[in-house]
Amino acid sequence: MTKSSRTPASESPEFSLDSGAMRSEPVVQVQALVKRYGTKTAVNSLDLVAQAGVTAVLGPNGAGKTTTVETCEGYRKPDSGTVRVLGLDPVRQSAELRPRVGVMLQSGGVYSTARADEMLRHVAQLHAHPLDVDALIERLGLGSCGRTTYRRLSGGQQQRLALAMAVVGRPELVFLDEPTAGLDPQARRATWDLVRDLRADGVSVILTTHYMDEAEQLADDVAIIDAGRVIAQGSPEELCRGGAENTLRFTGRPGLDASSLLKALPADCTAAELTPGSYRVVGKVDPQLLATVTSWCAQHGVMPDRISVERHTLEDVFLELTGKELRS
Amino acid sequence: MTATTSTTTTTGRYAPKPGAAPLSRMIAAQAVLETKMLLRNGEQLLLTVVIPTLLLVLFSSVDIVDTGAGKAVDFLAPGILALAVMSTAFTGQAIATGFERRYGVLKRLASSPLPRWGLMTAKTASVLVTEILQVILLTVIAFALGWSPHGNPAAVLLLLVLGTAAFSGLGLLMAGTLKAEATLAAANLVFLLLLVGGGVIVPLDKFPSGAQDVLGLLPVSALSDGLRDVLQHGAGTPWGDLGILAVWAVAGLAAAGTFFRWE
């Protein structure tokens, strides 16, 4: 029992306090986490460190996002590896940890015959210093639910109730498992605004999502998970900058000599005429490259029409890293 | 509600201030909610209130089953009390808990500050409150039908408590191991079978003697027989029936504790 709790993971916060004055203790530390269901390995030696702020966990279906988060929430015991949340073991120190953490499950979690306000008030009663329930109901637009029981609420209302239940206890850390899946744009925005306010007030958030724009909008840090491992982690800007290639497009006279253009470009670029008169350059697009392309056009008497530079989005990075084929 | 004006900028409203409520408040809140949910559920009310009441009134006033010497209500009232305990502690609890498990309620509560044993305590309290309401209602009706009970109230209380423990263990075992739909079907089926074959309205001596011995060991038979011994015949403490209930209670609760799956 006690042997595995004395690991570097549980001690490193003290070291990091010594080494960096600005760095505080990570809110989540996952080291070499392995979790199997029968013969299937859901999480395969996963390492993840989440600092205070908003961390988005991105990944295709079946990548191991929910398993990882639910291990942090104390629902699953690691087969091996260590997990620390706010410095605590989520399974063995569950009683100490639970009041400090808010949990939004992917679905369900409410009595089918309970009303939204009734359930939220109940969860509030389990905490010592809950938020003002009426204000939270108002803020998340749950006031219109009235006497409707949970099973008759719309999917969006059910999601927002689950979100409210996760934050009502004034936790230090909130886990949101796909908080905006299936929400309409207004509800999605309301959720984003709440996450931003939580962050501004010093609450850390770990959220899983399929939506790249959600991660780009909200997250300080993004971890991309695939096949049970973290394959990339960094701020949205870092991830979009690093590795990913950008695209420059322009239209001009059909039949220009793309190989001649290619000769003018740096070695790692590609150039092609996609459809007659429509050209694409792929490579590290910087001011120099843009200048090279326009001067090549000038030399060849071409007016580059509709010239555009496409910055890579997180979605491109995501697809590059995880592949484009559909996951079963 | 708050004095601060509502703006989109941060107000510190969400600043962390975590903490669990005192245990007694958590358990009380949970028990109140569980009881509310139970009483709000129409099908459950049918099982816990309507069916026992109808059976008591019908079989006391119409001579369908030969209940032996004496007034029919004197035979029926103890059996119906046993049925009421079974309907709440076993059938109702099994179905409700099965669906709570299915819909992630147990899972969500497991990450709340309320400990598991607190949840189980609240569930038990909710079952007991419902049973008290049932007993009051059925006792009033039975008195109106001319019931004249005897016996030691302490023995009655002991039987009801042990019966509740036995049925709770079995109900939770079912809810924690089967799918919610299977629990729904099985709990209702068992309710019906035990209603007929558990000495609730049909005296066990109407069955063949070999079957009697087996049926007598069922928890509902032990509970109705024990209640009947005390309330109808004014017997002392029915140790035999209490013993049977105790065995069921220990076995059922131990099995539920071992095999219950929370999701």
> What mean pLDDT comes out for the span A119-135?
97
With a cut of 0.90, is the ipTM above it? no
Same domain, A260 and A115: no
The full 3-state SS of B167-216, as one line of letters, equals HHHHHHHHHHHCCHHHHHHHHHHHHHHHHHHCCCCCCHHHCCHHHHHHHC
Considering the domain boundaries, does residue A64 fall inside one?
A: yes
* In a domain? residue A323: no
CB hemisphere CA count around B6 (13 angstroms): 6
Q: In 3-state terms, what secondary structure has residue A155?
A: helix
Which range marks the domain in which residue A284 is found? 246-311
Confidence of residue B94 (pLDDT cuts 50, 70, 90): very high
Which residues of chain B make contact with A203, given a CB cutoff of 8 A? 14-16
Contacts of B104 in chain A (CB under 8 A): 105, 107-109
Mutate to test the interface with A, among B2, B4, B13 (most CBs of A within 10 A): B13
Q: Residue B103: list chain A partners with CB under 8 A.
A: 108-112
**Cα–Cα distance, A123 to A98 (Å, whole number):** 13
pLDDT digits (tens, 9 = 90+) for A29-72: 999 999 999 999 999 999 999 999 999 999 888 899 999 999 99
pLDDT, one tens digit per residue, over B161-190 is 999 999 999 999 999 999 999 999 999 999
Nearest-angstrom CA–CA distance, B93 and B108? 19
| Average pLDDT for A81-85 | 97
Would residue A82 count as lying in a domain?
yes
A307 vs B88, higher pLDDT: B88
Evaluate whether residue A327 is within a structural domain.
Answer: no
Residue B66 has pLDDT above 90, yes or no: no
Among A241, A260, A292, the domain boundary falls at A241
Q: Which of A209, A210, A224, A178 is nearest to A317 (CA)?
A: A224
Structural domain spans, chain B: 23-259
The rounded mean pLDDT for chain A is 87
> Are both A234 and A252 inside the same structural domain?
no
Determine whether the interchain pair A111/B263 forms a contact, defined as Cβ–Cβ distance below 8 Å. no
Task: Provide, as residue numbers in chain B, all residues whose Cβ is less than 8 Å from the Cβ of A72.
Answer: none
Nearest to A230 by CA among A49, A16, A23: A49
Q: Which CATH number does the domain housing residue A43 bear? A: 3.40.50.300
Same domain, A221 and A260: no
pLDDT tens digit sequence for B7-42: 445 568 999 999 999 999 999 999 999 999 988 888
Query: Residue A324: pLDDT band by 50, 70, 90 thresholds?
Result: low
End-to-end CA, chain A: 38
Domain holding A288: CATH number? Answer: 3.30.70.1560
Whether residues A253 and A237 share a domain: the answer is no
CB contact under 8 A, B111 and A74: yes
- Asked if A103's CB is within 8 angstroms of B111's CB, the reply is yes
Region class of B234: left (phi > 0), else alpha (psi between -120 and 50), else beta: left
Spatial separation of the C-alpha atoms in residues A34 and A230, rounded to whole Å? 12
Using CA coordinates, name the residue in chain A closest to B108: A109
SS (H, E, C) B115-131: CHHHHHHHHHHHHHHHH
Q: Are residues A134 and A216 in the same domain?
A: yes
Chain B residue numbers with beta carbons less than 8 Å from the beta carbon of A114 are: 33, 37
> Are A184 and A277 in a shared domain?
no
Domain assignment of residue A108, yes or no: yes
Q: A296 in a domain, yes or no? A: yes
User: Which residue in B11, B18, B115 is closest to A170 by CB distance?
Assistant: B18
A269 shares a domain with A136: no
Is A93 in the B-facing interface, judged by CB distances under 8 Å?
Answer: no
Residues 6+ apart with CB under 8 A from B106: B97, B100, B119, B262, B263
Considering only CB atoms, A108 lies closest to which of B8, B17, B104, namely B104
Shared domain for A58 and A155, answered yes or no, is yes
Domain count, chain A: 2
* Chain A, window 198-227: residues with a beta carbon less than 8 angstroms from a chain B beta carbon: 198, 200-203
Same domain, A163 and A283: no
Q: A190 and A268 share a domain?
A: no
| Residue A233 shares a structural domain with residue A271 | no
In which band, very low, low, confident or very high, does the pLDDT at A286 lie, cut at 50, 70 and 90? confident
